[in-house]
Chains A and B, each alone.
Chain A
Amino acid sequence: MPKAENKGLLIFFYVCIAVFSVICFAPFVLAVSGSLSTESRIAAEGYSFWPRGFSLETYQFLFGSKLEQIVRAYAVSLTVTVLGTVSAVLVTTAYAYVVSVKSFRFRNVFAFFAYFTMLFSGGTLPWYLLSTKYYHLDDKLIGLIVPYLLSVFLMFLMTNYFRSIPHEIVESAQIDGAGHLRIFIRIMLPLGRVGVVTISLFYALQYWNDFYLPLMLVTDERLYTIQYLMYTMMANIQFLASGNAAQVGGAIIAPPLETAKMAMTCLTVLPIAILYPFLQGFFVKGIVVGSVKG
């Protein structure tokens, strides 16, 4: 057995991954350090890996008197993420199962029915009109959840994971007289757990990162999510900095543009950076459980 070759290859792998990880991590360090620098020094000297003129100015500017609002926004985001992820995963796995059943004669119709929406959309106007005037989703928590319950991309991804489950297991269950509901709940979900956990992660991110639904549907500030709050602040700061303000007649204010950008990155990425290892723990555990059963 060419052991030396194996070892060499493995070391090469480790080095590659380590290098790429460092490259991926670097901007995050820049962001943290940038957010802790003073605006004038960043503007004058550029970013660095160590804060230039350490200060909490930017965070004070962002939080200002808004601490309460930010805490509430985090709470809303968390609620939406948890409720949204759980319900979306249920809806998605159910639909994906239907598409993955080989004996189902309309499975392609269902697949196409879903895929078509990935390509064609009627634009925001009718969507907005229906959501606010007919479904009355404006200013409701449920409005931040329901529109994203089925991501077609993740549905197909899930179908792919379901399909990799050995067909014999399903067949033997069918011979035992199990119906679709039973197969779905008792066999597919547990065996497809790797996939379920993966799409859960992606759904969680989607809900956590979304600012579009609050922008469109929410006017009540008690329902602002953290991403929407950040988006608003960023949009306004950029607008003030872009000089467009002058065109509309805006006054010239100098918000801490560069450092604020960095601080906002930290504020939205940080919770994920902290939570991710835990999520991943769950993720890996899920995989272990999945493979044991498989």
Chain B
Amino acid sequence: MVQQATPRDTNDRLAKRQAVSFGRLRKSIGRDAPLYLLALPGIAVLILFAYLPMSGLILVFKNYNFNDGIFGSPWAGFANFEFFFSSMEDAIRATRNTVMLNVLYMLTGTFFSVAIAIVLNEMRSKWFVKITQSVMFFPYFISWIIIGAILFSLLDYDKGILNQSLAALGLSQVDWYSSPWLFMVILVLANIWKSAGYGAIIYYAVLQGIDTSYYEAARIDGASRWQIIMRITLPMLIPSIILMSLLSIGGMLKGDLSMIMGVTFLNPLLLPTTDIIDVYVYRTAIRSGEFGFASAITLYQSVFGFILVLVANKMAGWYDKDSKLF
């Protein structure tokens, strides 16, 4: 009896609970209806230009030919990944270089962007802030090709300004373009130069939104400028820093091909550190005209980035539930 009754009871209870939760759901949908409405245009854009095209991912596992179409083409399994993962040495090096450079970019970029934003925030001379902020934003618009050309005129072995200065000082010249590890430093510096001003704008905007009463209170308490920065300004920026980091962690395996091409001209002697995944794919798959191979590796970059972001997101949740991305 008891054994018979229990399932029915459970069913009833379940049904009741469902009714309740449906009711609640309906109610919440009623209240939240405007939210769906607000999100609708965004959802439409995402579906039209991101989710529907995503069906193309299937191509990565196919041997595409026009006559059979995307879905009729024969399956290739993981064959499109083979060229990359069958030369493990290259795959590991490319992955390592990509992650290494991205981590360095992220750390230095964030540091300088935040530093600039904080420093600008301290300044009271409006015209100075205005001019310098504009000027620091300039490099963002200059393409890597131009930056590469300018760097070349600085670093060229024979005629480069840097080597000529070294020679004038009686020091020995440096062959920058055949020193892979040295060149990594140059890449990091170039990245800071190009993107710090851009990042600073984001953080500076956050600081401009801070209620000035915090500062007044601190000043009345006799806190020094440095203390104010460390105790008020910086903590204010932490959520934004976490957000920006989370957003860039997803792209941890994606590299900037145009940067490496522009700045190193794909110099073979620098490849030990500059052969990031995108460069490797470019000089193998794309050079051979195997575009299917190239998109397969893009999927690898995405999946790996996705895993990293899931982990990082979880970790951000430990720090503060609100700083999670989703």
**Residues of chain A whose beta carbon lies under 8 Å from any beta carbon of chain B:** 1-2, 5-6, 9-10, 13-14, 16-18, 20-21, 23-25, 27-28, 30-31, 46-47, 90-92, 94-95, 97-98, 101, 104-106, 108-115, 117-123, 125-127, 130-131, 135, 146-147, 149-150, 153, 155-157, 160-161, 163-164, 179-181, 184, 194-195, 197-198, 201, 209, 234, 258, 261-262, 265, 268-269, 272-273, 276-277, 280, 284, 287, 290-291, 294
Contact = CB atoms under 8 A, between A and B. Distances in A.
Interface stretch (B93-101, B143-151, B169-177): B143-151
Interface string B121-150: 011001010111111111101110111011
Nearest to A159: B243
Contact of A290 (B45, B149, B209, B239): B209
A91 B41 contact: yes
Nearest to B292: A123
Contacts of A126: 52-56, 59, 70
B231 interface: no
Q: State the 10 A-B residue pairs at the shortest beta-carbon distance, nearest first.
A: A122-B56, A126-B56, A95-B42, A117-B50, A111-B326, A112-B326, A180-B34, A122-B53, A94-B38, A127-B53
A21 B129 CA distance: 11
Given A9-B225, A46-B153, 16 more contacts: A1-B222, A5-B226, A13-B119, A18-B132, A24-B136, A28-B142, A91-B41, A114-B46, A119-B251, A122-B54, A123-B295, A126-B52, A127-B53, A180-B32, A269-B142, A277-B130
B120 A17 contact: yes
A13 B146 contact: no
Q: Chain A interface secondary structure, helix, strand, loop or mixed?
A: helix
Interface in B164-214: 193, 196-197, 201-202, 205-206, 208-209, 211-212
B250 A118 contact: yes
A108 B326 contact: yes
B309 interface: yes
A234 B326 CA distance: 41
B130 to A, nearest CB: 6
B143 A180 contact: no
Interface stretch (B4-12, B266-274, B298-306): B298-306
Contacts of B322: 163
Contacts of B196: 20
A106 B35 CA distance: 10
Contact of A97 (B38, B123, B142, B243): B38
Contact of B41 (A94, A105, A180): A94
Nearest to B134: A276
A179 B159 CA distance: 68
Contacts of A287: 205, 208-209
Interface residues of B, number: 84
B116 interface: yes
B11 to A, nearest CB: 26
A6 B52 CA distance: 57
29 contacts: A1-B224, A20-B136, A27-B147, A27-B150, A28-B142, A95-B38, A95-B41, A98-B39, A98-B42, A104-B35, A108-B324, A109-B326, A111-B325, A112-B326, A115-B326, A120-B299, A121-B54, A122-B53, A127-B53, A160-B243, A161-B209, A164-B239, A181-B34, A269-B138, A273-B138, A277-B130, A290-B208, A290-B209, A291-B209
B250 A119 contact: yes
B53 A280 contact: no
Nearest to B143: A265
B326 A10 contact: no
B208 A149 contact: no
A93 B212 CA distance: 25
Given A24-B136, A130-B53, A262-B146, A6 B225 contact: yes
A160 B240 contact: yes
B305 A119 contact: yes
A151 B185 CA distance: 31
A70 B136 CA distance: 28
A120 B306 contact: yes
Nearest to B194: A24
A31 B32 CA distance: 53
A85 B295 CA distance: 31
B32 A10 contact: no
A273 B133 CA distance: 12
Contact of A27 (B123, B126, B139): B139
B311 interface: no
Given A160-B243, A291-B212, A21 B132 contact: yes
Nearest to B122: A13
Interface in B231-247: 239-240, 243, 247
B138 A125 contact: no
B319 interface: no
B57 interface: yes
B78 interface: no
A200 B42 CA distance: 16
Contact of B139 (A9, A24, A112, A181): A24
B56 A123 contact: yes
A163 B225 CA distance: 27
Contact of B206 (A14, A23, A127, A164): A164
A161 B206 contact: yes
B75 interface: no
